[in-house]
A and B are shown apart, each in its own frame.
Chain A
Amino acid sequence: MKKILLIGNPNVGKSVIFSRLTGVNVIVSNYPGTTVEFTKGYAKIDNEIFEIIDTPGTYSLIPTSDAEEIALKLLKRGDVIINVVDATNLERNLNLTLQLLKQDKPLIVALNLFDETKHLGIEIDVRKLEEILGIPVVPTVAITGEGIKELTERLKEAKTKTYDYNEEERWQKVGEIVKEVQKITHRHHTFLENLADATIKPVTGIPIALIILCLTFYITRFIGENLIQYFLEPLYSNFYAPNIIKFIKSLNINWLEKILLSQKPEAMKGFGVLTTGVYIPFVGVLPYIFSFYLVLSLLEDIGYIPRLAVLLDIFLHKIGLHGYGTVPIILGLGCKVPAMVSTRILETKREKIIATILIILIAPCMPQSAMIISLLSKYGVKYIGITFCVIAFVGILSGYFLNKILKGETPELFAEIPPLRVIKINILFKKLWMRLRSFIYEAVPLIIFGIFIVNICEISGLVNILSKTLGPITVKILGLPSKIIPVIVFGFLRKDVSIALLSPYNLTPEELVVSSVFLTLYLPCISTFFVILKEQGLKDTFKILIFVFSIALSISSLLNLII
């Protein structure tokens, strides 16, 4: 089967074209570095089935990051290349096109974001560009699907080595081509452009950032809380729970009842697979996942996050990262798994190790946060505040410390800042749905499995054995009752569950704070662990985990003494 490769600069819309061609949904955003892995899909063009490969963006054929390296390795395996070009940035993009033309692969250009040229006063003579380059150039607006059909129809015209030049004269040639095919007419700044400028100037940018951050927290909590209070909680307690309990009890199988409902069938009181096991993921966590990713996706698609990176750069340098480290850390507020993958956008090993540790230590993931909030809210905002502040403080302090002791320097921020764009509602909801789906399919089964295991430990009496052997440690060091041992032992399966599972034990608010901090920090969850292993290798993963675990243990025991 022939392979078609999508190659181009970062943030030009390769992934949107990929989705259009294959029907496979991939996460797309408005900032460079959304795609850090390659994605495969299939498309039928002229009765022939092609494999389509979406690649991370690259500015040139000399790689400077892992993500770019992936793109270039793939280049060798492609049969045809679709070079996706940002029509609003012709010069920079054609630099890559000319390099690609020297490769021995048939090439076709998709002149994407073509609709934006009109607003920007840019006029491109597509015919002439095609003539000069000697390969097909098809204007596309991937987000609406415009031009995609023509792109596939003209795929067979793809050619290579049609434009020869001297390597030293490449930029000069690019300049000549642009001069010949592009006309720019002056026009006034739009509202979005003025807003965009304001977000990166400190005097206006810092207040804007604070407003956006406050709004993010407020909206996430508002939507999450209301979904629970007025929709999911009533749905669970008025409809689901009574019926499922009645049904299971009617079966009259004692052991099954113990596993599915446990001795205490009220949600969050026992470890029933069908009671607490359903309540935690669907009533406790899902609403917050929904609200957080709604807000995050909105910020991503508008293109705000790289602007935040500019403002935070100085601060992040103090903890060993540059501004673009904002991206993995913000993703980590949702789920640590994509956050760990996105450390690929960072250049050095040192940065990746620091980022990995900070992702684990600086804040809980959204499911954990949701559970911490729901468990502690009855004791007042104070305890929620303490928990999150301690965790953030630990993260920042660790970053500061690592920055001092790890050899090497933090590279400087050097990143494209995409324009602010009007969001497309359908793209936004597609992305939101993909993120919810991956929570439902990947996380929910593990949550339920974790509850099942803990329940079995309860029923079988294994809890007592574990408590006796490991108990003294938790009691002495953390001041926590030994009965929560199984939660700690199995907590790494799903960390959000581990915090939720504290609920049946009637802990004091102080004990809840200590255990929430410990359970958030002590180890990454099992899915995150495997991603770290894949990204950082065995040796570094081991070092990272030892560091993280010692920090978690010392901070929690310290906290136990103070609180």
Chain B
Amino acid sequence: MDLTSVKEGERCKVLKIEGGYGVIKKLERMGIRPDVEILKLSSQFAKGPVVIQVGNTQVAIGFGMAKKIIVEKID
């Protein structure tokens, strides 16, 4: 599944980024890359941005970009 379908407060692991070189590099700079654990903090109404925590950083990610982040839930 992708990041937009994760519920608020759930932890997940990034499996891959389904996007071009630009998106991959952009996310990577902020520490979002395969095998990294992230925590979804919030999502907005009507396809608004998703906020996640990676390490100790909170990052807001637009809905379309969040769709490209493929994750799996961890307990």
Contacts and interface: CB of A to CB of B under 8 A. Distances in A.
A202 B31 contact: no
Contact of A314 (B25, B27, B31, B47): B47
B51 interface: yes
Interface string B44-70: 111111010011111111111100000
Contacts of B51: 200, 310, 417
Among A62, A200, A411, A414, find the residue whose CB has the most chain B CB atoms closer than 10 A.
A414
Given A89-B55, A95-B29, A201-B8, A414 B44 contact: no
A330 interface: no
B30 interface: yes
Contacts of B42: 197, 200-202, 205, 310
Contact of A412 (B31, B54, B57, B62): B62
A310 B26 contact: no
B15 interface: no
A202 B45 contact: yes
B14 interface: no
A257 to B, nearest CB: 60
A314 B26 contact: no
A309 interface: yes
B46 A314 contact: yes
Contacts of B44: 202, 310-311, 313-314
Interface string A410-442: 011111111100000000000000000000000
Interface of A: 59-60, 62, 64, 88-92, 95, 120, 122, 171, 196-197, 200-202, 205, 306, 309-311, 313-314, 322-323, 411-419
18 contacts: A62-B29, A88-B56, A91-B55, A92-B29, A92-B30, A92-B54, A196-B58, A309-B60, A310-B44, A310-B51, A310-B60, A311-B44, A311-B48, A313-B49, A413-B60, A416-B57, A416-B60, A418-B58
A412 B56 contact: no
B41 to A, nearest CB: 6
B63 A92 contact: no
A373 B30 CA distance: 44
A219 B54 CA distance: 36
Contacts of B45: 202, 314
Given A414-B27, A415-B60, 6 more contacts: A64-B29, A88-B56, A92-B31, A95-B29, A202-B44, A416-B59
Given A309-B60, A313-B49, A419-B58, A197 B41 contact: yes
A511 B66 CA distance: 50
A95 B42 CA distance: 26
By secondary structure, the B interface counts as mixed
A95 B28 CA distance: 10
Interface residues of B, number: 30
A11 to B, nearest CB: 10
| 8 A-B pairs with least C-beta separation | A412-B62, A59-B29, A417-B58, A92-B31, A314-B48, A413-B62, A201-B42, A200-B42
Given A322-B62, A414-B65, A59 B8 contact: no
A186 B11 CA distance: 16
Nearest to A88: B56
Contacts of B30: 59, 92, 414, 416
Contacts of B47: 314
A158 B20 CA distance: 38
A412 B63 contact: yes
A429 B73 CA distance: 46
A184 B41 CA distance: 20
A411 B63 CA distance: 11
Contacts of A323: 49, 60
B62 A414 contact: yes
A62 B22 CA distance: 11
Contacts of B64: 412
Contact of A171 (B28, B56, B61, B62): B28
Contacts of B63: 412
Given A310-B51, A314-B44, A60 B60 contact: no
A202 B25 CA distance: 29
Contacts of A413: 49, 60-62
Contacts of A310: 42, 44, 48-49, 51, 60
Nearest to A178: B55
B19 to A, nearest CB: 11
B70 to A, nearest CB: 17
Nearest to B9: A197
A347 B56 CA distance: 25
Contacts of B48: 202, 310-311, 313-314
Among A95, A309, A413, find the residue whose CB has the most chain B CB atoms closer than 10 A.
A413
A229 to B, nearest CB: 42
Nearest to A68: B29
Contacts of B26: 64, 414
Contacts of B8: 201
Nearest to B63: A412
Contact of A89 (B28, B49, B57, B62): B57
A90 B61 CA distance: 21
Contacts of A122: 56
A62 B49 contact: no
